[in-house]
Amino acid sequence: PALRADVVTIFPDYLAPLRLSLIGRAARTGILDLAVHDLRTWTHDRHRTVDDTPYGGGAGMVMKPEPWGEALDALVPAGADPRPRLVVPTPSGRPFTQAVAVELAAEPHLVFACGRYEGIDSRVAADAATRMRVDEVSIGDYVLNGGEVAVLVMLEAVVRLLPGVVGNPASLTEESHAAEHDGLLEGPVFTKPTSWRGLDVPPVLLSGDHGAIARWRREQALERTRRVRPELAPAPLEGRGLEGLT
Ligand code: SAM
């Protein structure tokens, strides 16, 4: 497989959508070797306890280190080479972006640790760092109940980059946030019919003039990026590429 991915969670069913659509097919065709593990497999008490009260007080519970330590020992043998990457979703992590998705898609083995409650005892990441590269990642500036949905988001962004997953590889470079498009947002798209409810497809798209179409798309992408996400837009005076013509 191009990528082995292990997901550890107390809610394996949450990851069921990974069996659907393009990611499901990638797993069935052997591009992706995906395994979802129940953290409670690595508990030993009758109640299969995974959480406890926080030291120092405060609201909520914290995930205990022991089951996590055993889980990671089982999934990543000591001395594994190359060292797998442990992705820990957390709102306090570095932002997940298309560039991070590209980075992760180049890895042979990813392990995802889904936190719940107030997160995982910090020593788990410290201990894992002795044999894995630990990457704490946030999918956005908001708080979810658990890491499962964040892992769905990240895996979907990563797996579609693996060769053979998306039918036409050009569609990966012709979209928002692609480095090939300077990280710009994609402009509007249209399909048949040419006129619908009094709204016409921009004539340039019907012109057959590929140069004019490329310029129009670039202008639309720049306009949209400046309007919606100005921090992603190139500085106006940089005058790079077609921007100088607009
Ligand atoms: N107490 C933590 C804090 O303030 O940083 C929040 C814990 S949150 C309620 C529970 C779990 O959801 C986290 O351990 C993490 O796995 C996941 N999570 C929540 N928001 C997330 C985000 N924006 N990105 C990635 N994971 C997130």
Assembly ipTM: 0.99
- Report CA(243)–ligand 1 centroid distance (Å): 40
Could you report the per-residue pLDDT of 154-206, keeping only the tens digit for each?
999 999 999 999 989 888 888 899 998 899 999 999 999 999 999 999 999 99
Of the options 3.40.50.620, 3.40.190.10, 2.40.50.140, 3.40.1280.10, the CATH number for the domain spanning 3-159: 3.40.1280.10
- Cα distance between residue 183 and residue 229, in whole Å: 11
Please give the torsion angle defined by the CA atoms of residues 143, 147, 150 and 155, in that order, rounded to the nearest 10 degrees.
170
Domain with CATH 3.40.1280.10 in the chain: 3-159
Residue nearest to atom 27 of ligand 1 (CA): 90
What class, spelled out in words, does domain 178-245 have in CATH?
Answer: mainly alpha
Domain with CATH 1.10.1270.20 in the chain: 178-245
Distances (CA, A) of 174 to 62, 110, 180, 186: 42, 26, 8, 8
In the structure, what pLDDT confidence band is assigned to residue 237 with cuts at 50, 70 and 90? low
Which ligand 1 atom is the nearest neighbour of the CA of 63?
Answer: 14
User: What is the rounded distance in angstroms from the CA atom of residue 154 to the CA atom of residue 224?
Assistant: 25
Q: Is 10 annotated as a binding residue?
A: no
Bridge partners, 33 (sequence order):
4
- pLDDT > 70 in the chain, percent: 96
**Considering only CA atoms, which residue is closest to atom 6 of ligand 1?**
118
Q: pLDDT band at residue 207, thresholds of 50, 70 and 90?
A: very high
Q: What is the pLDDT of residue 77?
A: 85
Q: Please report the atom of ligand 1 found closest to the CA of residue 137.
A: 25
What's the chain's length in residues?
246
Give residue 142 CA to ligand 1 midpoint distance, Å. 8
What's the pLDDT at 82?
87
Residue 141 among known ligand-binding residues:
yes
